[in-house]
Structure 1
Amino acid sequence: MLNLAAWRSGSLPRDTRDTLFLLAVVGWVLLMQVGHIPVWCAAMAVAVLGWRAHITLQGRPLPAWPWRLTLLAITLAATWMTYRTLLGRDAGVTLIVVLLALKTLEMRARRDAFVVFFLAFFTLLTHFFYSQSLLTAAGILLALLGLLTALVNAHMPVGHPPLRQSAWIAGRMALLGAPVMLVLFMLFPRMAPLWGTPSDAMTGRTGLSGEMQVGQVARLAADDGIAMRVRFDGEIPPMRDLYFRGPVLSDFDGVRWRPLRSGFPASMEIQAELQPLGQPVDYEITMEPSFQPWLVMLEAAVEPPELPRGRAFMTPDLQWMSTRPVTDLMRFRGRSHLAFRHGPRQSTVALQDFTELPGGFNPRTLALAQSLRQQYGAGPAVAPRLVEAVLERLRTGGYSYTIDPGVYGRDTADEFWFDRKEGFCEHIASSFVILMRAMDIPARVVTGYQGGELNAMDNYWVVRQRDAHAWAEVWLAGEGWVRVDPTGAVMPTRLGSLTRLAAPEGLLADTFRNLNPTLARQLRDAWEAINNRWNQWVLNYTQGRQLDLLRHLGFDSPSWRDLLLALALVVGTAGLAGALWMLWERQQHDPWLRLLDRARRQLEQQGLPAVTRPTPRELARQTQQHWGDTARARAIRDWLLRLEAQRYSAAPGASLATLRREFRQIPWTQTTKT
């Protein structure tokens, strides 16, 4: 049993210390996956690593193969029960995490440790399946340095070298490899992934949805994550005009809003008929991955954006879509007109789709619609008056804007208009559209983002998930579709300032923000600006930017073949230069060889015959043969033998610094021939 005093004093045996260090590094590698693996998987990994550490500290034998086989069977069964498959991203990562932990139970020799090293290196790559953020990269870099330290330490079988020495060597190795990594990053051709992850590649993301149920958008108010960053070419438009259009929802079944599935022939469906007005606004959007095909652009974009992959097209309801889901960080340019008209100017049969309501829902709202029509009249001519009457009801009827109105029942519009009189933007927009349709005014719900905030550190306009918004569009004769935001009637500051309703945060975050809100804002902006630089220059370094680099280097029409050629030339030249430098360094700049060469020159000056590439022992033999058994000859001979031992002996001997001092003390010029 290991003495606890050895643990406290730091005098652990070499094998124990190295094993515990490797277990700590493996634990860090697995800790970074805790948010992406099932609870049972994390618990099993912690238990196995703790068991292995206990075995190491107590000096007990490793468990026999039946134990390991039983744990493997449990892992396979639990993975299958969790995912109903052993393939795919999530199931595969779960298996890798447990297998890495189980492999530590087989570490009996250095060969087993090397398997753990390289399995841990592979596990590091799986972190990028879930996140490629700067924080993730920093955590992976720390784990990489830890694994390199353990690997270097494993190649030092003699003695008890301190871990700081291995860490220093590992750090130097990483720095020497950094230029190669940079060249590969800059020039290795970008291409589509060479692997696929079935069934689970499109899950686990927050953000807008292709359908809306009352209360769904309110949940995004608690999400402070960034949806996209926008950089305007000129002056930033007023915040009240920043509507970023997402999914348009026109089909209502009483519970959910979904995109329209019209029963009319395609030739009769409502077309976009977009007519831009005024000067355009040019901007660049960097979208975070949403795993959805829509492109959330500023209303209203006339020209399709140029995407790095796939192409963009506009639907009849003015929504821009991509032919491929946005699975990675995507940057593209857009041009929008904040003033515009769209949709038919005259009534068509297809507009009936936008007045339909399911039967049996919201009877009091239907009665309210009938009352308003009796008061103001009916028909397209009075539709603007009806819209204004409903907005006035929202302004003066005691309605309020909140992210926590409670759970709505079956008749959501009735509860909003008559009972609760409070809600988030989708409660208000949905109830407004239902009331419009009940008065035979074509209307639909538009979801997206509204507003945002400026990051003063890098001048990017940041749109967060909590800026998710829902508004309405009504069709008016002679005008087409007109945006009406009923939330602005309830809470005007929601649209024209930085006022947002946010879910309560943790006690620590609230306390820090209350103590120094300015510092908290500055720290957040600085961190997000750094992340934005990482996104722009690392994650968004596409093949197009690679080809632009080659153009700057003198290539007229660069292609991926030119990238390979440039990469081969740079790597080949760097490899040849490195090999020549190492050869020259070993021959000319090895401090031990330099000291031996100084001794050789001194002996030659005293008359010793020149020898090509002599060894210390050979010089010692020639010294004794040339000058005999004199005191000076014995001093030179003994010094040469100590120099040889310093290089080749397993036992620790004199250091090079000591040998240099002794070299200066030997009176080479006083040696006389006998």
Structure 2
Amino acid sequence: MNTLNLSALPRETRDTLFLLAVVAWVVGMQVGQIPVWCTALAAGVLVWRTTLVLRGLPLPGWPWRLGLLTIAMAATWATHGTLLGQDAGVTLVVVLLALKTLEMRARRDAFVVFFLAFFTLLTHFFQSQSLLTAAGILIALLGLLTALVNAHMPVGRPPLAQAARIACGMALMGAPIMLVLFLLFPRMAPLWGVPSEDRGRSGLSSTMRVGQIAELVLDDTIALRVRFEGRPPPQGELYFRGPVLSHFDGIEWRPTRSEFPTRLALNSELVVSGEPIRYEVTMEPHRRPWLFVLEAASQAPEVPGTNVRMTSELQWLTDRPMSSLVRYTAVSHTTFRHGPLTPAVALQDHVSLPPGYNPRTMVLAQQLRREHGPGPDASPRIINAVMDRLRTGGYTYTLEPGQYGQHTADEFWFDRRQGFCEHIASSFVILMRALDIPARIVTGYQGGELNGVDGYWTVRQRDAHAWAEVWLQGQGWVRVDPTSAVSPGRIGSLQRLNAPEGALAGAIRNLNPTMVAQLRAAWEAANNRWNQWVLNYTEGRQLDLLKNLGFPSPSWTDLAYVLIGVIVFVSLLGAAWTLWERQQHDPWLRLLQRARTRLQALGLDSADHTPPRELAHRVQQRWGRSEAAQRIAQWLLQLEAQRYSRPGAPDTPTLAALQREFRQLAWPRKDPL
């Protein structure tokens, strides 16, 4: 079997293969974010270019490149419906990077590939700013710098290891500058955009379409991290409130759009009691103006640089979508009451149902009314009866409920008797409304797991949950979680549903589950540190840094002054280091040059390569055996001995002694004595 020996290849071939490998790494990091056809096209072009360079074949002509570019643009338009915007732009950049390698004939073309690849690296942050992404980009950056340094070494056949050492040295020298700019350069809004919503995975949306997903995939990515001050509440009480859905058209639940005048709309009327729970939330970007707080927060969460308001449904909203990592503090009370205590006109919004849907559920509601009697006093008994039905009626919580039809509540209560939290909460609320009990769906996150490495509670997208709120006279809105009746393990610390694992992941977990859990906790703790200290370095933290530096009331002007001062200080430091390095650069040669310059001023010319012994001979020829000439000649011979004599030889003068003696030499006149 023949193996490719890079050291035996011509330099141009070796350098081209290395650059193609780096470009493949840059493109490969985009797989999963770009269309499949784009990945296939870029991979095909890179394989084609590799084959051409290995076989020494000529590059394709412009008709090939123009045809591929036309195909790529047409496919981009067909996929995204435009050639502009974030997704279409990233797709075209990847295609152009791959196609540019097909016309890479000279160093000038290689430089275009270098800088196009640098630009492509930036686009990776559009989708992810995680620690793993940063590590991949760092590898690509060092690879591109190595290729760039190697391209500036045109003579000979320098090894790639040498170029890599120079590139790493350049990166290390630039690291302090990058650190200063990171700490002091004014924070600006993120440049990356909004990825499309994945409708087939667990998580939160502004709407809830029941029964349209036949199989749910648990999303294990992190939604938010929570650090409590003091003892955290029990896991079963960790309800992080999100969007509230009150309008139902038979298929989809949406936020309420009340037709009542503002003066008749429902108010929050929140009343809290008990000990406050203080905590800090680090929320991943979700591109919505939502803040998730533990039920219920009576005061606004402290989000730096953002206006926050609470709706009448206890949902906290910001004035802009959360498209970057955000950290905020909040205070909540798990014991609370909210909503009107007596009937209100606006409650009619929460008992309305579209006609023609779920007829069997309507019959069930009539039956329950007959059994428990009319009036608001019967509502608690009816709710308990429905919860008992869920506990004892053979209902199951599953990731694969199958696709529901038009009458989703009927199918759940009487036919399938299985579903995940959306099916259960929706069917419960529909039944409550059929009983003329005001009810609505609340979505958010429930539970989480404690990371023993850093002490943060980790809430994942798979913890997304839907529960119900019913209105009871004299109590207001009351949380009822029907999923807890079907599957108590979904609420609290018991075993929850897990997504099916692949063969490799299952084998590793079965081999040593404790080790896998510890490694995962350590990795997530490292990611959390990255989030806290890098991604969440906001304007507020910049100003806090100035406070620590002694500014009582820091402003952007102070930040600019500090940045300018640091730049001036670093520049002076660099100039001083350059001067010091110049003085330290081979002081023996510098001393010889001083002697040569002094002799040239006296009329004795010499070349730069003239050794001290030859200079001593010329001094004696020019000025004879005068005392001054003899001292100069003897000093030149001692200078040569200091450089070339055996180390540790006796009577060898030090360089410092020769420098002192040089200053004491008596130099002859320009004319011979």
TM-score range relative to shorter protein: 0.7 to 0.9
Equivalent residue letter for 1:387: I
Note if contact 1:399-1:422 (Cα within 8 Å) is conserved in structure 2: yes
In the alignment, is residue 66 of structure 1 matched against residue 63 of structure 2?
yes
> What does residue 149 of structure 1 align with?
146
Partner residue of 2:106 out of 102, 109, 121:
109
Equivalent residue letter for 1:572: V
Deviation at 1:308, TM superposition (A): 2.6
In the alignment, is residue 365 of structure 1 matched against residue 361 of structure 2?
yes
> What does residue 583 of structure 2 align with?
588
Note if contact 2:283-2:325 (Cα within 8 Å) is conserved in structure 1: yes
Deviation at 1:58, TM superposition (A): 1.7
In the alignment, is residue 486 of structure 1 matched against residue 486 of structure 2?
no
Equivalent residue letter for 1:231: R
> What does residue 507 of structure 1 align with?
503
Note if contact 2:125-2:192 (Cα within 8 Å) is conserved in structure 1: no
Note if contact 1:251-1:260 (Cα within 8 Å) is conserved in structure 2: yes
> What does residue 46 of structure 1 align with?
43
Equivalent-residue separation in structure 2 for 1:31 and 1:621 (angstroms): 63
Deviation at 1:621, TM superposition (A): 5.3
What is the SS of the residue equivalent to 2:225?
A: strand
Equivalent-residue separation in structure 2 for 1:524 and 1:614 (angstroms): 68
CA separation of 1:402/1:661 partners in 2, compared to 1, >3 Å: closer, same or farther?
A: farther
Equivalent-residue separation in structure 2 for 1:180 and 1:408 (angstroms): 58
Please give the per-residue CA displacement for 1:250-283, whole angstroms capped at 9, x wherever unaligned.
1111111111122221211111111112111111
Equivalent residue letter for 2:475: E
Note if contact 1:452-1:498 (Cα within 8 Å) is conserved in structure 2: no
> What does residue 85 of structure 1 align with?
82
> What does residue 666 of structure 2 align with?
none
Deviation at 1:664, TM superposition (A): 5.7
> What does residue 354 of structure 1 align with?
350
CA separation of 1:121/1:610 partners in 2, compared to 1, >3 Å: closer, same or farther?
A: farther
Note if contact 2:245-2:255 (Cα within 8 Å) is conserved in structure 1: yes
Partner residue of 2:132 out of 114, 119, 135:
135
Partner residue of 1:473 out of 469, 473, 491:
469
> What does residue 189 of structure 1 align with?
186
Partner residue of 1:622 out of 615, 626, 629:
615
Equivalent-residue separation in structure 2 for 1:669 and 1:223 (angstroms): 76
Partner residue of 1:425 out of 421, 428, 447:
421
Deviation at 1:401, TM superposition (A): 1.8
Deviation at 1:38, TM superposition (A): 1.1
> What does residue 155 of structure 2 align with?
158
Deviation at 1:70, TM superposition (A): 2.2
Note if contact 1:413-1:434 (Cα within 8 Å) is conserved in structure 2: yes
Note if contact 1:221-1:502 (Cα within 8 Å) is conserved in structure 2: no
Equivalent-residue separation in structure 1 for 2:505 and 2:340 (angstroms): 50
Equivalent-residue separation in structure 1 for 2:605 and 2:220 (angstroms): 73
Deviation at 1:224, TM superposition (A): 0.5
Of the structure 1 ranges 73-82 and 273-282, higher mean CA displacement relative to structure 2 is found in: 73-82
Partner residue of 1:293 out of 289, 293, 301:
289
Please give the per-residue CA displacement for 1:527-578, whole angstroms capped at 9, x wherever unaligned.
0000000000000000110011011111122111211211111122112211
Equivalent-residue separation in structure 2 for 1:221 and 1:448 (angstroms): 17
Alignment of 1:493-642 (within 5 A): 493-585=489-581, 587-590=582-585, 593-597=586-590, 615-617=608-610, 619=612, 622-623=615-616, 625-626=618-619
Please give the per-residue CA displacement for 1:476-517, whole angstroms capped at 9, x wherever unaligned.
110011111111112223212142112212111112112211
Equivalent residue letter for 1:589: Q
Equivalent-residue separation in structure 1 for 2:652 and 2:520 (angstroms): 71
Equivalent-residue separation in structure 2 for 1:217 and 1:164 (angstroms): 53
Equivalent-residue separation in structure 1 for 2:101 and 2:615 (angstroms): 55
Equivalent-residue separation in structure 2 for 1:227 and 1:548 (angstroms): 27
Equivalent-residue separation in structure 1 for 2:27 and 2:536 (angstroms): 27
> What does residue 634 of structure 1 align with?
none
CA separation of 1:186/1:610 partners in 2, compared to 1, >3 Å: closer, same or farther?
A: farther
Note if contact 2:215-2:402 (Cα within 8 Å) is conserved in structure 1: no
**TM-score for both structures, normalised by structure 2:** 0.88
Equivalent residue letter for 1:455: N
In the alignment, is residue 460 of structure 1 matched against residue 445 of structure 2?
no
CA separation of 1:666/1:98 partners in 2, compared to 1, >3 Å: closer, same or farther?
A: farther
In the alignment, is residue 11 of structure 1 matched against residue 4 of structure 2?
no
Of the structure 1 ranges 372-381 and 609-618, higher mean CA displacement relative to structure 2 is found in: 609-618
Deviation at 1:438, TM superposition (A): 1.1
CA separation of 1:104/1:613 partners in 2, compared to 1, >3 Å: closer, same or farther?
A: farther
Note if contact 2:214-2:403 (Cα within 8 Å) is conserved in structure 1: no
Deviation at 1:215, TM superposition (A): 4.5
CA separation of 1:111/1:580 partners in 2, compared to 1, >3 Å: closer, same or farther?
A: farther
What is the SS of the residue equivalent to 1:469?
A: strand
Deviation at 1:8, TM superposition (A): 2.8
CA separation of 1:523/1:600 partners in 2, compared to 1, >3 Å: closer, same or farther?
A: same
Q: CA RMSD in A?
A: 2.9
Equivalent-residue separation in structure 1 for 2:48 and 2:604 (angstroms): 61
Partner residue of 1:249 out of 245, 251, 257:
245
Alignment of 1:290-439 (within 5 A): 290-439=286-435
| Sequence identity percentage | 63
Aligned residues: 629
Deviation at 1:594, TM superposition (A): 3.8
Alignment of 1:256-275 (within 5 A): 256-275=252-271
> What does residue 272 of structure 2 align with?
276
Of the structure 1 ranges 19-28 and 105-114, higher mean CA displacement relative to structure 2 is found in: 105-114
CA separation of 1:408/1:620 partners in 2, compared to 1, >3 Å: closer, same or farther?
A: farther
Equivalent-residue separation in structure 1 for 2:277 and 2:161 (angstroms): 56
CA separation of 1:6/1:386 partners in 2, compared to 1, >3 Å: closer, same or farther?
A: closer
Unaligned runs of 5+ in 2: 622-635, 637-641, 654-673
In the alignment, is residue 118 of structure 1 matched against residue 115 of structure 2?
yes
Note if contact 1:602-1:668 (Cα within 8 Å) is conserved in structure 2: no
CA separation of 1:217/1:47 partners in 2, compared to 1, >3 Å: closer, same or farther?
A: closer
**TM-score for both structures, normalised by structure 1:** 0.88
Partner residue of 2:221 out of 222, 225, 228:
225
Deviation at 1:99, TM superposition (A): 1.1
Equivalent residue letter for 1:425: C
Equivalent-residue separation in structure 1 for 2:3 and 2:362 (angstroms): 82
What is the SS of the residue equivalent to 1:499?
A: coil
CA separation of 1:668/1:165 partners in 2, compared to 1, >3 Å: closer, same or farther?
A: farther
Deviation at 1:611, TM superposition (A): 9.3
CA separation of 1:272/1:580 partners in 2, compared to 1, >3 Å: closer, same or farther?
A: same
Equivalent-residue separation in structure 2 for 1:550 and 1:461 (angstroms): 31
Note if contact 2:272-2:333 (Cα within 8 Å) is conserved in structure 1: yes
